[in-house]
Homo-oligomer: A and B are copies of this chain.
Amino acid sequence: MSISKEQIEQAHERIKPFIHKTAVLTCNTINELAGAELFFKCENFQKIGAFKIRGGMNAALSLSKEKAVNGIATHSSGNHAQAIAYAARQLGTKAYIVMPNNSPSVKVNAVKGYGAEVTFCENNQQAREETLQAIVDRTGAEFIHPYNDDRVITGQATCAKELLEEIPSLDFLLAPVGGGGLLSGTLLSAHYFSPETKVYAGEPEGAADAVLSLKSGKIETAPYIKTIADGLLTKLGDKTFPIIQQYVADILTVSDEEIISTLRLVYERMKIIVEPSCVVPLAALLKNKELFAGKRAGIILSGGNVDLKKFCEWFS
C-alpha cells in the first residue's frame, strides 16, 4: 500500500488548523427504523460544506513553498472546486478553477467568493483537461485531481480516522463512492486504525460504475448516468480502485426514489441539510437491514451543498 498509517496521521495534524472536527449525531427514530445503532459523521457541517476540504487542504499544504507560490488548479464544478479555492486562500496563493460553461451560477459564485479565478470550457472531459493543461503550462500551478491523487486520498482518510477516534468499536463504516477518494481513504483508515471494522459503500444505480468495476476486476464506465446524486457521477481512478478492490466489504446500490425518501427522512428527523450524494450510504443500509441488524455502524454524511431550488423540485 503506497499510503501509510503515518502519512494519514501526519495529514490529520497538517490540516487540523484549517478544518472543523465535525459533530457526530445520532437519531433514535432512524436507529429504530434501521434496527441498528448509527453514528453520523456530519461533514455537511465541514468548511465549504463537504469533506472535500480535507483532501484539497492536505494536497495544498503538501506543496513546497517554491511550488505553492505558483498556485493550485483543478477542473471541477462541485465541492472539490470550492475546496481548492478555499485552500488557496488559506495558503495566500492563487486558485485556478476550470468549470463547464453550464455550471450553475450558485456554484460559480461560491468559488469566486473564495477569490478563485474561474475559466469556463465546453462540458466534456477533453475540453476540461485541455483548458486545465493550458493554465498549468502558463502559470506553473499545481494540478490537484479531485480524487485520483494520494495526497487527496490521504486527506479524505482523516474523516473516518476522526469518527473512529470518537466512536470506537464500530462494526461497520459506510461511505458513498463516486471517484473513490472518500471511500479509499475510509478503507485505509479502517484498515490501520480499526481493522475489525468492515466498510461498505453506497452507489447510485444511475452511476453504477464502481459495483461493476468490483465485479469485473477492472475500472468500468457506468452503463448509463441518470441520478440526482450529482457528486457521484465519475468513475474510479487507478489510485482509488486498487484500495477499494483490496478492502471494501461490498458496494450496495440504491435508486433515486430511495435516495429521495432517505433525504426526506434525514431532513425531517435529523433536522440537517444534506445533499443527495450524501444519503446514498444510509439509503443502502436501510435497503439491506439484515447486514447491519443489531450492530454499530458509522455513516459518513459527505456534504450539504444543495441548491434550495432543486431541493424543492424533489419535494413539491
A45 at interface by CB-CB < 8 Å: yes
- Check B271 against A308 for contact (C-beta < 8 Å): no
Contact of A272 among B268, B271, B309, B315 (CB under 8 A): B271
Q: Mark A1-27, 1 if CB is under 8 A from B, else 0.
A: 000000000000000000000010100
Q: Is the interface of A mostly helix, strand, loop or mixed?
A: helix
Q: Are B316 and A312 in contact, CB atoms less than 8 angstroms apart?
A: yes
By beta carbon, the residue of chain B nearest A28 is B47
- A44–B304 Cα distance when bound, in Å, is 17
- CA A272 – CA B306 in complex, angstroms? 12
- Proximity bits, A261-273, B CB within 8 Å = 1, else 0: 0001001101111
- CB-CB < 8 A to A311: which residues of B? 312, 315
Chain B proximity of A46: nearest CB distance (Å): 9
Given known A311-B312, A312-B312, contact A271–B268 (CB-CB < 8 A): no
- Residue A23 contacts which of B23, B273, B308, B309 (CB distance < 8 angstroms)? B23
Q: Which residues of B contact A45 (CB under 8 A)?
A: 25, 270-271
Instruction: Answer yes or no: A274 CB below 8 A from chain B CBs.
Output: yes
Whether B49 pairs with A271 at a CB distance below 8 angstroms is yes
- Distance, CA A49 to CA B45, complexed state (A): 19
**A316 CB to nearest B CB, Å:** 4
CA separation between A274 and B267, bound complex, in Å?
Answer: 10
Give bound CA distance, A65 to B192, whole Å: 54
Residues of B close to A272: CB separation below 8 A: 271-273
By a CB distance below 8 angstroms, the chain B residues around A312 are 311-312, 315-316
- CA distance in complex: A308, B266 (Å): 12
B309 and A271 contacting across the interface, CB-CB below 8 Å: no
**Chain B residues within an 8 Å CB radius of A316:** 308-309, 312, 316
A304 to B27, CA, bound (A): 14
Contacts of A308 in B (CB 8 A): 264, 267-268, 315-316
Give A271 to B273 CA distance when docked, in angstroms: 5
Instruction: Give complex CA distance A75, B120 in Å.
Output: 58
Measured between C-beta atoms, what is the minimum distance from A167 to chain B in Å? Answer: 15
Q: Is the CB of B315 within 8 A of A271?
A: no
Taking CB atoms and an 8 Å cut-off, the chain A residues in 128-160 that contact chain B are none
Binding site for B on A (CB under 8 A): 23, 25, 44-45, 49, 264, 267-268, 270-274, 304, 308-309, 311-312, 315-316
Q: A264-B308, A271-B274 are in contact. List 17 more A-B contacts (CB 8 A).
A: A23-B23, A23-B25, A25-B45, A45-B271, A267-B308, A268-B308, A271-B273, A272-B272, A272-B273, A273-B273, A308-B316, A309-B316, A311-B312, A311-B315, A312-B315, A312-B316, A316-B316
23 A-B pairs whose Cβ atoms sit less than 8 Å apart in the complex = A23-B23, A23-B25, A25-B45, A44-B271, A45-B270, A45-B271, A264-B308, A267-B273, A267-B308, A268-B308, A271-B272, A271-B273, A271-B274, A271-B304, A272-B272, A273-B273, A308-B315, A308-B316, A311-B312, A311-B315, A312-B315, A312-B316, A316-B316
